[in-house]
Every structure is written in C-alpha cells, then in structure tokens.
C-alpha cells in the first residue's frame, strides 16, 4: 500500500487556490492513501467562531467532501483531509476519510488546542477505525498527539494506520508520534503544514516535517520544515498486526488493564 503525505501553506480563506495546489502537487504521484493537513483548505487562525462558521461546511454534502471524492475518483485512491465542519449550530475541527464512492468516515477533534476552544465545539464522535481496501485506518487530529489514549484507543480498536492531519506549532510532536508508533505497533502518518499566519492579533509559525512512521518506530519519510511538497512510501499494513516485542512480550496481550487508572 502506498501512503502519501501532503505539506502545504494554505492561503487563508481561499479554498479554490488551496485545492489547486494540492491537485498540482499530487498530479504526477500515485498513492493509495493521501493524508492532508488539518484545516487544509481554509487556514487555521480564525478570528472568531463566526468566521469559522462562515468557512465551515457540512459533511458529506459540502464542497470539500465533494471535491475530495472527485479527487479520489480521478486517482483511484482514498484521502484524509482536515476541515471545519458545520452541523446544525455546532462547528467542529474535523477530518474526513473519502474514497472514489464517497465519504468512508469522519472524526471531530476531541482535544482542542489553545484558541480553538473559543472557535470550535469539542468533538463528540468516538475514535473509530475505517476500512481502506484491506487496511484499517484510524483518524486523530493535531493536538490529540499529546494524549496517548488517542492512539492507544485506535490501536486497540484494530487500526493499522493512524492518519493524523495537523497544524503543529509546538515542538516535540514529530518525536512523540514515533513513540506512539512504538507503543502501539501502528503506522503513524502526520501531515503537517508550513508557513506563518498573522491573524487575530497573533503570529503562528507552523513546523512542517510531515512524516510517515513505521509500526516499528522507523521514520520512513520526513518532509522539510519549510517547503511545500509531497512524499510517498510503500508499506505493508499487516505488519501492524504483529504486536510482539520479544517471544515473551506482546504489546496488547501484556497489558495489565486491571491495574490502570480508569478515570
């Protein structure tokens, strides 16, 4: 299975230009699963909740979902993208997984970061694993990395690959996702953005270094810290089904859940 990451610097609010760049970056490259950044078509730093609502869309009927389905149909692939989702009176920082036939699954960010708490509603969809061909893919978004329970829950629910759309501004995440891979013996695919946004009286600089990490914690692809581009690697998702560390140790079988804190 060929996994691809897309790394861009979105023009705030210009969905058409941002779609075009992704199409151009991926035009000559084949992947079975593309992972794109958090809020990839709108930019990140909303002035307020009303601006987020204005740029948000419904799932699956919104323009981003419809574009991504067409993107997948033209390339015979699946793709994950982050977007602002509108659902009745709620606005969520969300991600969708689509294929040529439509939306396969969605996720709403459970762990909101910093200013996001003023803009978005907290997620209300459990961590779920979705089929992509013969592989099993789970979704988490950006700051979820800081909570080991996120990746662990997806792994326990059978994920072989964790797709991780991100807009990272803090250090350490890329290193932490290597640890998440080692803890759970899963592939972790972090699609981050680059560039700077100056809005809402703040200046945010995004860290790039999108990466694909193997189920053994090896970094298979590492994008530059400040460049737009894509990277693709071939993996065997079934490698994530082997949770053995030694002949005596199994990452799932050796868990002592009866001794772990429940709350």
Handedness of CA 131, 137, 138, 140 (dihedral sign): negative
- Considering the candidates 51, 77, 109, 173, report the single residue annotated as catalytic: 109
For 156-207, give the DSSP string. HTT-SEEEEE----SSSHHHHHHHHHHHHT-EEEEE---SEEEETTEEEE--
Cα distance between residue 243 and residue 184, in whole Å: 8
- Considering the candidates 142, 173, 188, 197, report the single residue annotated as catalytic: 142
Cβ neighbours for 216, distance < 8 A, ≥ 6 positions apart: 181, 182, 185, 239
- Residues comprising the chain, all counted: 263
Q: Is 117 a catalytic residue?
A: no
Q: Is 173 a catalytic residue?
A: no
- Considering the candidates 15, 21, 38, 85, report the single residue annotated as catalytic: 38
Structure tokens at 127: 């961590």
Q: Is 109 a catalytic residue?
A: yes
Q: Which residues are catalytic?
A: 38, 109, 142
């Amino acid at each position: 299975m060929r996994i691809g990451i897309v790394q861009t610097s979105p023009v705030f609010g210009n969905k058409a230009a941002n779609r075009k760049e992704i199409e151009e970056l991926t035009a000559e490259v084949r992947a079975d699963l593309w992972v794109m950044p958090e809020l990839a078509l709108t930019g990140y730093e909303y002035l307020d909740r009303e601006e987020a609502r204005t740029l948000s869309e419904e799932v699956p009927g919104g323009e981003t979902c419809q574009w991504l389905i067409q993107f997948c149909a033209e390339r015979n692939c699946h793709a994950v993208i982050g977007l602002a989702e509108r659902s009745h009176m709620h606005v969520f920082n969300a991600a969708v997984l689509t294929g040529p036939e439509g939306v396969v699954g969605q996720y709403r960010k459970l762990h909101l970061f910093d200013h996001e708490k003023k803009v978005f509603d907290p997620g209300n969809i459990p961590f779920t694993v979705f089929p992509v061909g013969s592989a099993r893919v789970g979704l988490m978004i950006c700051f979820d990395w800081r909570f080991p329970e996120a990746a662990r829950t997806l792994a326990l629910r059978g994920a072989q690959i964790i797709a991780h759309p991100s807009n990272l501004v803090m250090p350490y995440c890329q290193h932490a996702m290597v640890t998440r891979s080692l803890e759970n013996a899963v592939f972790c695919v972090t699609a981050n953005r680059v560039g700077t946004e100056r809005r809402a009286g703040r200046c945010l600089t995004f860290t790039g270094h999108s990466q694909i990490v193997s189920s053994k914690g090896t970094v298979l692809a590492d994008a530059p810290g400040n460049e737009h581009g894509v990277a693709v690697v071939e993996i065997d998702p079934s490698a994530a089904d082997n949770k053995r560390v030694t002949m005596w140790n199994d990452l799932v079988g050796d868990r002592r859940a009866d001794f772990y804190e429940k709350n």
